[in-house]
Structure 1
Amino acid sequence: MTLRRANIARISGGLFDVLVVGAGINGAVSAAALAGRGASVALIDRGDFGGFVSQESSNLVWGGFKYLENYELPLVFGLCRSRNRLMKAYPDNIKEISFLATLDETAPFRPWFAALGATAYWGIGLFGTKRPRLYDAEELESVEPVVDTSTARGAVQYQDCYLVDNDSRFVFSFVRSAVEAGAAVANYVELVSAERVGDRWVCLLRDTDTGEEVTTSARVVVNAAGPFVDELNSAWGLTTAHRIVYSKGIHLIVPRITTTRHDRVLAFFDDTQRLFYVIPMGHRSVIGTTDTRVDTPYTEVTDEDRDFLLGQINARLDLPDPLTHDDVIAERTGVRPLVVRREAGDQSDADWTSLSRKHEIERDDARAVVTIFGGKLTDCLNVGEEVAEHVQHLGVPLEKDLRNWYGEPAAATRKEFFRQARLMRLDSLRTKPGTEPLSDRLWRRYGRRAFDLLESIRADPTMGTDVMGSADYLRAELHTAAEHEMVVTLDDFMRRRSKIDLVVRDRDILGSPGLREVAEILFGDEADRRLADYVLAKTGQHAPPAH
C-alpha cells in the first residue's frame, strides 16, 4: 500500500488542473485522457477502482446489435467505431467472438429478417469483423449441439468482442495509464465536501481506510460518480438537463456449458422477447443479463432472479441435467445508469428496455464542473476524448491528443517479451491441462510490467508457482499486485485485480491453504485483519487464527 499512501500525500495540499471524482470506467478513462495530454490530474473513488457498476458488466465490447430494434442507428454506429478502435488498440485483451443467436418461437424476428439486421450491423460497423452467417435449424444443431433445436426456426451468427479478463481489470488499465502519465490516484478516498473559492474548488477528502482527512484544490471537477452523479451535483447546488434512472441486471456464473474448443456467445430471446446470453469465461459460463427497473443503485440477486434466468436457459439448452441453484458458482448484480432528460418525469410509463444506453456530458461553465451521465465500457474512448474537450473549454490547456494514453505497448515490445519468455521456457512452468500459456496471460494482464515478472521468476523460481491451486495465480503476480496495484482489501485482489471470486466457489477459496499466503504477500503485518474482513464478508464469521 506504499504507492497508495504516496499518492494520497501528493493529493494532500495540492492544486490540480482537474479532480476526477469516481474511478469507474468513466472516471478512469477521463483521468487517463487528461493526464495523457499534460493536465495535472487527481483521481479518487470512495471505493475501489472499478468497484461498483464497472465490475458488473457482461465483459462484452460490442456495438449493440440489440439497439437496432429501437432504430438507434447513430448510437450503434458510434459504439461499433469505438469497438473497432478498442479491438485494434488492445489486441491481446479484447478478442473478436461469435454471437450465435437462436431464433425460436419466442423470438420477435424470423431468421431471415435477423440475418438482414446482422448484415446491416456488419455494415454499420464498417465491416470491422467477420461477416455474419445464417443457419437453419438442422445446421444449428450441428454447429452448437448444446442448443435445443426442437422449437428453433434457425439462427444467425454475427461478430462482436469480449474482454478476455474481467471488466474491472480493464478499468484498472486506464488507472495505470493515468499514473504513468503523472496523475495522482487513490482508491478508498471519499469526497467529504467541496466549495468553489475564487477560481478553484477546495475539497475535503477522507481516507475511508484510515479515517485521515486531507484537503486538495482543483480548477475543474469531473463528476464521474456513475449512478451517484445526481447526488453529487445536488450537493453542489448544480442543476442539469439530464439525470440518471436505474436498470438492474444480473449474471449467474456456472460451469462451462459450451465446449472449450470454440469460444462463442449464445444468444436467446427470453419469454419477454428480450435478448440474454451465455458468455464464456474460461472454464465457466456467464448467463445474463436481466433488465429490471429499480429505484436504488444498490442491488442484490434474489431467488426470483435466479429462477427466471435458470428457467429461461434450461428451456433453451439440451443439457444432461437442468441447471439448478447448486450449479451457480458466483453471481454478479449491478445497475445500468440510464440517461433521461430531466423534464421527462419519472419514466414510469416508458418502455423500460427502449431507454437509450447512450451517454451524455454536461458542462457548467460558471462552476467549472463536467458531469458524465451514463456510458458503456465500449464507449469509453469517446467519453475520455469528449471530457478532455470540455475541460479544455473551461480553460485548462491540453497538449495535442497523440492517443498514447490508451492501448497495449508497441508490437516490438510485445515481440521482445515473448522472445525472452520463450528463452526461459516460461510456458513449461504451467502443467495444468486446458490453461492458456503463461506468456499470453502475463503479457495481457501486465504489459510492460510483465518484464519485471520474468526477472522475478529468473531470480527465484518459486515466484513462478501458483499460490492457490484452483485460482491459477503466480506468487510473482501477488508481489506485483502488492507493490503496484493499490490493493487495500482482499476483495480488491480476489474480485477486481483478478477474477478469482468469479470463477472459484467461495467454499474452495476459503478452504484453500494458500489464501493466508495471498493475504500475507499483499498486506504483510496487516494480513490477519484483511483476511478476517474478507472471510467475514463471505460468511459472517471471522477468519481462524494464524497457525
Structure 2
Amino acid sequence: MSLRSANIERIDGGLFDVLVVGAGINGAVSAAALAGRGASVALVDRGDFGGFTSQESSNLVWGGFKYLENYELPLVFGLSRSRNRLMKAYPDNIKEIGFLAALDHSSPYAPWFAGLGATAYWGIGMFGTDRPHLYSAEEVKAQEPVIDTTDVRGGIEYQDAYLIDNDSRFVFSFVRSALEAGAAVANYVELLSAERVGERWVCRLRDTDTGTEATTSARVLVNAAGPFVDDLNESWDLRTEHRIVYSKGIHLVVPRLTTTRHDRVLAFFDDTQRLFYVIPMGRRSVIGTTDTRVETPYTEVTDEDRDFLLDQINARLDLPEPLTRADVIAERCGVRPLVVTRGADDQAEADWTSLSRKHEIERDESRAVVTVLGGKLTDCLNVGEEVAEHVEHLGVPLEKDVGTWYGEPAHQTRAEFYRQARLMRLDALRTKPDTEPLTDRLWRRYGRRAFDLLEAIRADPAMGEDVMGSADYLRAEVYQAAEAEMVVTLDDFMRRRSKIDLVVRDEDIEASPGLREVAEILFGADAERRLADYRERKGARSPRG
C-alpha cells in the first residue's frame, strides 16, 4: 500500500481533533503546529500540496520593505521578526540575500531618501541582516554591469532572504513534519460536505484521483483554503468579519541575466512606479511580479502580461539583445489573497495598490471553525502558532509548544551527513560546471532522509546519476519521491517536489529520454497514462510565442 493510500485509509472513518482543509502554506503549517503539539489532525487538499497560490510566489522571505511607504510599521516589524526566525530555523534552505535597487529619475524616491528607509528597515528588523548601502550611479554600474545606468541617479542595497529551492517544496516540508508527528495527510482529496452533528463535524470526502468517497469526523475545522476561504465558509453558512480580494501576479523565468554576483536580487520601479525584481533561481533569473486586480482566483499569463514585463526589464538592463517571448523558459501566475474588512468595497477599490499581505485569523465559537485569511510565506510560523492558539480556545487540549514542528535537523545530524558524504566522495559524482555540490543540495532538500539517498547510492552507483541530464535530479531522488512524497501526477514531481518545469525548457524536457524513466519510477504500470496526462496539461497551458 502506498503512503497516500495508507493515509486516506486512516482518514476514512476516523475521529480527529482537527480537520485542516487546504494544504497550501497556511494549511501545512497549521497541521504541523497542531500535530506537533499532540492534537490528532487530518489534512486534505483537493489538489496537490502547495499546488495553487503557494507554488506561484517570488520565493522571497522578506520583512516587507515596500510596506514602509504606507507606514505599516507593526506589520513590517512582525514580518521582519518572522524572516529572522525562518533564517535561523532553516539556515540551509533560507539564505540572506541583497536587494540592489537602481533608482532613476522617474523613481518615486531619491537615493538618499531610499537609503534612510533602508536604514530604518534594518533597524525595524532588529539588525538581523547585514547593513544597507547607498550607491552612486557609477557604483551601481560597478556592482552589476548589466544595469543600464544612463538615467540612474543612484541606488541602495538592503538585505532580506530567499528560498533556494521552490516554494511548494518548502510547503511540503511542513506536510512531512505533520506526517511525522502523527497527522493523516492526503492530497487530491476533496471536501464534498461538512455537517455539524452534536459536538463534531461529519465530513464527506472524495479522492479526486480514484473517485472513491470517504467519511471522517472532527471536533474543529480549520479553513485554510487560501483564495477559496470565502467560498468554503459560505458552503457552511458561516460569515467572517474579513474577506478576500485577489491580486494577480506573474513571473517570467529566463536565462540568467546577472553578470557578477548571482546571489543578489535586482530591484526597479516600473513605469507605474511599482517595484519589480530580477530574482536568482540557480542558472535562471525570475522577472516579476506584476500586480493586477482580478475577480477570480483562476488566472493565466497573457501576451499583455509578458510584453509588459519584458518591456520593463529591457528598458532597465544593458543586454546584448533585448529579451523576447522566445527567451521565456517558464512562467508563474497566481493570485495573492488580500484581506479587507467585509463591506469595505469602496476602500478596497480606492486603496488597491496599498493593500498588504497581512493575515487575519477568525474563530467561530459556536461552530468550532477557525478561518485563516491572507498571509504570505514569510509569516508562516506565526500563522501556525496563532491557529493552534485558536484551536486550543475551542477546547482541544495541546501540549506545550517546544518548537519541534518546524526547522532543520540538529547541527550534529547535519555534520554526520556531511562526514558520510565526504567519505564516499559524493561531490565527485558531479562534474558539471556552475552547479552546487551534491552534498549541499541533498541535505537542503531532504534533511534526515538524505541518509537514505547515501545508502541507495552506496548500494547502486547508478542511483547517483542525473536522471534527466540538465534537470540536476538524481535517480535516487526520484525513487524517494515515489516512496515518500505522495506524487499523484507527473506535475507534482516536475513542478512542486522539484523545480524541473521551472528551469528546463519544455522542448528539452520532452526530448529527454529520462522523462519516461521518471514516469516509470513514480507510477510503474500506470506510467504511460500519467505521462500522457502531463503532456496534455502542458499543451493546454498558454503557449509562449
With normalisation by structure 1, the TM-score equals 0.98
- Counterpart in the other structure of 1:323: 323
State how far apart, in whole Å, the 2-side matches of 1:346 and 1:153 are.
37
Alpha-carbon spacing, 1:346–1:521, altered in 2? closer, same or farther (3 Å):
farther
Q: Is the 8 A contact 2:337 2:374 kept in 1?
A: yes
**Partner SS, residue 470 of structure 1:** helix
1:30 paired to 2:12: no
Aligned to 2:336: 336
Distance 1:540 1:240 in 2: 36
TM-score (structure 2 length as normaliser):
0.98
**Paired AA for residue 243 in structure 2:** R
SS in 1 for 2:513: coil
1:402-441 map, 5 Å? 402-441=402-441
Residue pair 2:42, 2:185 contacting (<8 A) in 1 also: yes
Question: How far apart, in 2, do the equivalents of 1:407 and 1:377 lie?
Answer: 14
CA distance in 2, matches of 1:58, 1:445: 19
Q: Which residue of 2 aligns with 1:133?
A: 133
Q: The residue matched to 1:109 in structure 2 has which SS?
A: coil
1:349 Cα shift? 3.4
The equivalent of 1:243 in structure 2 is 243
Note the 1:348-497 alignment, pairs <5 A.
349-497=349-497
Please give the alpha-carbon distance, in whole angstroms, between the structure 2 residues aligned to 1:68 and 1:348. Answer: 19
Aligned equivalents of 2:302, 2:352: Cα separation in 1? 20
Instruction: State the AA in 2 paired with 1:32.
Output: A
Residue 4 of structure 1 corresponds to which residue in structure 2? 4
Post-superposition shift, 1:260? 6.3
CA gap of 1:253–1:182, structure 2 versus 1, over 3 A, is same
Q: Can you list the C-alpha shifts for 1:57-114, whole angstroms capped at 9, x where unaligned?
A: 0000000101111111010000000000000000000000000001101210000000
> Shift of residue 347 of structure 1?
4.5
- Deviations, residues 137-184 of structure 1 (Å, cap 9, x unaligned): 011111110000000000000000000000000000000000000000
1:101 and 1:157 in contact (8 A); partners too: yes
CA displacement at 1:261 relative to structure 2: 4.2
Task: Note if contact 2:145-2:260 (Cα within 8 Å) is conserved in structure 1.
Answer: no
Distance 1:250 1:494 in 2: 19
Contact preservation (8 Å) 1:192, 1:203: yes
Deviations 1:246-298 (A, max 9, x none): 00000000000003644100000001111000000000000000000000000
Structure 1 window deviating more from structure 2 (392-401 vs 507-516): it is 507-516
Is the contact made by 1:264 and 1:279 (CA closer than 8 Å) also made in structure 2?
yes
Check conservation: 1:260, 1:283, Cα contact below 8 A. no
User: Separation in 1 of the partners of 2:496 and 2:29?
Assistant: 17
Partner AA of 1:460 in structure 2: D
Task: Name the SS for the 1:392 alignment partner.
Answer: helix
Would you say the 8 A contact 1:132–1:156 is kept in 2? yes
Query: How big is the alpha-carbon RMSD for the aligned residues of Structure 1 and Structure 2?
Result: 1.0
Q: Which residue of 1 aligns with 2:304?
A: 304
Relative to structure 1, the CA distance from residue 10 to residue 400 in structure 2 (aligned partners, 3 Å threshold; closer, same or farther) is: same
Matches within 5 A, 1:81-96: 81-96=81-96
Return closer, same or farther for 1:482/1:346 CA change in 2, 3 Å cut-off.
farther
State the Cα distance separating 1:356 from its structure 2 match: 2.5
* Partners of 2:98 and 2:160 within 8 A in 1: yes
Q: Take 2:106 and 2:371, find their aligned partners in 1: how far apart are those partners?
A: 40
Measure, in 1, the Cα distance between the counterparts of 2:141 and 2:536: 46
Q: What residue in structure 2 maps to residue 544 of structure 1?
A: none
Offset of residue 355 of structure 1: 1.1
Structure-2 separation of matches of 1:86 and 1:265: 19
Residues in 2 aligned to 1:489 and 1:45: alpha-carbon distance in whole angstroms: 14
User: How do 1:41-190 residues align onto structure 2 when only pairs under 5 Å count?
Assistant: 41-190=41-190
Q: Tell me what 1:500 maps to.
A: 500
1:211 deviates by 0.1
Output the amino acid matched with 2:456: S
Whole-angstrom CA distance in 1 between matches of 2:136 and 2:282:
29
Paired residue secondary structure (1:153):
strand
Show the counterpart of 1:545.
none
Aligned residues: 541
Structure-1 separation of matches of 2:346 and 2:39: 38
Query: In structure 1, what is the Cα distance between the partners aligned to 2:30 and 2:337?
Result: 18
Gaps of 5+ in 2: none
Query: Offset of 1:329 from its aligned partner?
Result: 0.3
SS of aligned partner of 1:349: helix
C-alpha contact (below 8 Å) 1:300/1:333 kept by paired residues: yes
For 1:229, the aligned partner's letter is: V
CA distances 1:369-390 after superposition (whole Å, capped 9, x unpaired): 0000001000000000000000
Shift of 1:346: 5.6
Q: Distance in 2 between matches of 1:110 and 1:346?
A: 32
In structure 2, distance between residues paired with 1:84 and 1:435: 27
- Displacement after TM superposition at 1:352 (Å): 1.2
Superposed CA deviations along residues 466-499 of structure 1, whole A, max 9, x for unmatched, are 1100211001000000000000000000000000
- Structure 2 SS opposite 1:157: strand
Separation in structure 2 between the aligned mates of residue 514 and residue 30 of structure 1, nearest angstrom: 37
Mapped to 2, the partners of 1:483 and 1:156 lie a distance apart of 47
Q: Residue 414 of structure 1: CA displacement?
A: 0.1
User: Distance between the aligned counterparts of 2:182 and 2:349, measured in 1?
Assistant: 47
Deviation at 1:510, TM superposition (A): 1.1
Unaligned runs of 5+ in 1: 542-547
Do 2:368 and 2:394's aligned partners in 1 also have CA atoms closer than 8 Å?
yes
Using the TM superposition, give the Cα deviation of residue 186 of structure 1 relative to its aligned residue in structure 2, in angstroms. Answer: 0.1
Matches of 2:376 and 2:450 in 1, distance apart? Answer: 28
CA contact (8 A) 1:481 1:487 kept: yes
8 Å contact 1:106–1:270 — kept in the other structure?
no
Q: CA contact under 8 A between 2:46 and 2:190: conserved in structure 1?
A: yes
Asked if the contact 2:340–2:348 (Cα under 8 Å) also holds between the matched residues in 1, the reply is: no
User: CA, structure 1 residues 486+238, in 2 after alignment: closer, same or farther (shift >3 Å)?
Assistant: same
Question: Whole-Å Cα distance in 2 between the matches of residues 262 and 52 of structure 1?
Answer: 28
User: Partners of 2:480 and 2:353 in 1: how far apart?
Assistant: 42
Over the matched positions of the two proteins, sequence identity in percent amounts to 83
